[in-house]
């Protein structure tokens, strides 16, 4: 069996349905690596779907829409701080579940030794392959998006997947 990663980064920025479909990846990682620290980079507008998730140790919230809209000194300061935070985490593995250029850049900026992403032809944006050093993808019979996302865990030696969709809807939590 491969070495157990100490720190894992999931990169799935949004949208709502995409985040929900990625939850089985989180569950599978938690079951297989119960002592690993798992973080997730997500857009601010979707962060309530995973904040306080019991299988997640850290939710790293970004607001790329705001950054693109307001390119100024404060934006660059926030970007530098975001990159510093990613680098300071010293992730062993980053898993790019999005397949976009921006998700690839974020994965690469994390400094993770192993960056898992989709193989050519399965990325949503082809240039994404430049930012990953481990390429994976679904088998011929794996057509559903959940199976496609879970296929990225095979390079970690995972072959048994959990298809749980547990999430905490923000209105379900009460302050006690």
Domain assignment of residue 123, yes or no:
yes
- Report how many domains make up the chain: 1
Which among 167, 164, 168, 134 has a CA at the least distance from the CA of 151? 134
pLDDT on residue 2: 62
> Could you read off the pLDDT of 24-45 as tens digits, one per residue?
999 999 999 999 999 999 999 9
Q: What is the pLDDT of residue 3?
A: 82
Is 1 part of any domain?
no
**For position 32, what pLDDT does the model report?**
96
pLDDT reported for residue 64: 79
Can you give the residue range of the structural domain that contains 114? Answer: 7-171
The mean pLDDT of the chain is: 89
- CATH number of the domain that residue 136 is part of: 3.40.50.2000
Per-residue pLDDT, 164: 73
Q: Does residue 139 lie in a domain region?
A: yes
**Single pTM value for the model:** 0.89
How many alpha carbons lie under 13 Å from residue 75 in its C-beta half-sphere? Answer: 10
pLDDT number for residue 123:
87
Q: Which residues pair with 116 in a beta bridge?
A: 95, 134
Residue 176 lies in a domain: no
Residue numbers in the chain where pLDDT is lower than 70: 1-2, 68, 71, 73, 166-176
Q: Assess contact for 162 and 27: CB atoms under 8 A.
A: yes
């Amino acid at each position: 069996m491969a070495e157990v990663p100490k720190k894992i980064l999931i990169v799935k920025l949004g949208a709502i349905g995409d985040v929900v479909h990625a939850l089985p990846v989180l569950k599978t990682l938690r079951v297989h690596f119960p002592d690993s620290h798992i973080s997730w980079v997500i857009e601010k507008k979707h962060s309530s779907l995973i904040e306080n998730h019991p299988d997640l140790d850290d939710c790293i919230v970004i607001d790329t829409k705001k950054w693109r809209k307001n390119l100024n000194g404060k934006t660059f300061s926030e970007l530098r701080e975001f990159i510093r935070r990613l680098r300071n985490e010293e992730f062993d593995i980053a898993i790019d579940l999005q397949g976009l250029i921006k998700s690839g850049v974020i994965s690469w900026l994390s400094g993770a030794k192993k960056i898992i992403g989709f193989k050519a032809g399965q990325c949503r944006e082809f240039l994404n392959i430049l930012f990953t050093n481990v390429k994976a993808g679904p088998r011929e019979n794996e057509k559903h998006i959940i199976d496609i996302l879970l296929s990225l865990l095979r390079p970690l030696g995972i072959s048994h997947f959990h298809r749980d969709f547990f999430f905490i809807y923000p209105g379900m939590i009460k302050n006690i």
